[in-house]
Structure 1
């Protein structure tokens, strides 16, 4: 299997290259406009085939591409490869608006070509080990509530960038039933004096579960917390590697294995494994398509509502 990585900036270098280049059976191709970066990384990871123009990859005979470039470039690059019938991976968000997300999936359907979106938080081993079935939308126990908080220190931002590039992580992580509109959703937001978005809290009830996503980018510290409640049993994770389970009126510490690599604990390894299975089969499960579209449409609806607020 031959797969090209397009865009070799910080995300690719920190979250993907350290482990995907060791996956057996894959011939990797690097592509970025920065010739210096391209040369350095190709040497570091012993990559033989490189390109500075993604359009040349069609002649390179790649089976799939992984797009790690800026969000603003996702549409043109993804559209190009989908038109060629080449399986396409795009780091979240797929697009920075709901309409273009739907349009790309319509193109993928016409071309019968997989379009995968990289949401690593769906695949965190510690969470999925204990919260069985939640991220697939089929909890093994009756889920009473799921709350996902992702906060940052002193980083208020432009509304659309805040919601699509950052808040979409906790939003998608609680959108396990693929909700796509604001009906019955409570949205509370706060802006700074210069109209930058500082914080947002979104909450709704679906299939008996109270779902809540929250982000405060003027918080005292960068942190992420996940809380899930079942009947007489509750979980709270303060990071991707440790948490607490409460049951029988007792607390139990939960941790990942000491030997588990950092990128595996953050869900990247399991996510890439799912993606490679998609490439191999040539098909995207409809459930994944529906949730990907739904989370982007929900983000769009939230964005439009917050943009109108003064």
Structure 2
């Protein structure tokens, strides 16, 4: 399977390139505008098919493309490959406006080409194995992702960062914005904190991001009919049951990228490429998360 990586920034270098280039059934293609970075990474990962122009990727006849470039150019690049019938993966967010997201999915539908969005937290093995293994008993789910001394532009805050905890609680992908309670705090012209909460089918969902927190931290907690969980990392946590605390953790030797959901996400993406279809529930959840993000931005600004 020929897969092109477009954009060689931090997330590509840390997460995607090391894993995909190690897969025996993947023939990687590298693309970035910076020739020096392109050559260095091509040498490091022993990749021969490279280009500095994303349009030239088509010359290598890719089976799929994965876009890791800046959010601002996601729509432009994704549209180009969808127009040419190439299955397209885009790191979250798909775009920093719901209008652009909807337009791209309409194009994907017309062209009958899968458009996949990379939300690695949907595939965290520890969380899925324990906290979300039985959603039938779920009473509440709270996802916190905090940063230290980093208030920011509201659009970037919401679409590039807060979208992680937001999507992670948007399990059903069909909540109406009118049913969401949102609160925020500003630091001058910058957004410092955002909290959302809703109740659906008796389950309470909460997402929180405080960019003036004392430390960069991510906490996931859930309660069920007979137990509760708390995770301060993606590799270990606690289960509270029968008035006792039990430690839960991943098995030894689980690779870091697997623990962070990248292995599971890539496996799902490969299935999408092979089948040529995106499951409807995935499309609905992708659009729902971006729609809520847009509504939150409109609400704040």
Task: Determine if the TM-score, normalized by the shorter chain, exceeds 0.5.
Answer: yes
1:48 matched residue in structure 2: 48
Unaligned ranges ≥5, structure 1: 134-138
Q: 2:139 matched to 1:159?
A: no
1:250 to 225, 244, 253: 244
Q: 2:172 matched to 1:173?
A: no
| Residues in 2 aligned to 1:255 and 1:6: alpha-carbon distance in whole angstroms | 34
SS at match of 1:59: helix
Q: 2:242 matched to 1:227?
A: no
SS at match of 1:183: helix
Offset at 1:248?
A: 1.0
| Residues in 2 aligned to 1:102 and 1:180: alpha-carbon distance in whole angstroms | 17
2:184, 2:191 within 8 Å by CA — same for their partners in 1?
yes
Q: Which runs of 4+ in 1 moved over 4 A?
A: none
Offset at 1:179?
A: 3.3
1:179, 1:295 within 8 Å by CA — same for their partners in 2?
no
2:184 matched residue in structure 1: 189
1:136 matched residue in structure 2: none
1:214 to 184, 208, 213: 208
TM-score by length of 2: 0.98
Cα gap change, 1:227/1:301 in structure 2, threshold over 3 Å: closer, same or farther?
Answer: same
TM-score by length of 1: 0.95
SS at match of 2:148: coil
| Residues in 2 aligned to 1:61 and 1:111: alpha-carbon distance in whole angstroms | 18
1:239 matched residue in structure 2: 233
| Residues in 2 aligned to 1:67 and 1:280: alpha-carbon distance in whole angstroms | 18
| Residues in 2 aligned to 1:262 and 1:184: alpha-carbon distance in whole angstroms | 37
Give RMSD over aligned pairs: 0.9
Unaligned ranges ≥5, structure 2: none
2:192 matched residue in structure 1: 198
| Residues in 2 aligned to 1:184 and 1:69: alpha-carbon distance in whole angstroms | 34
1:280 matched residue in structure 2: 274
Q: Residues 148-194 of structure 1: CA distance to partner in whole angstroms, max 9, x if unpaired?
A: 000000000000100000000000000111135421211010001x2
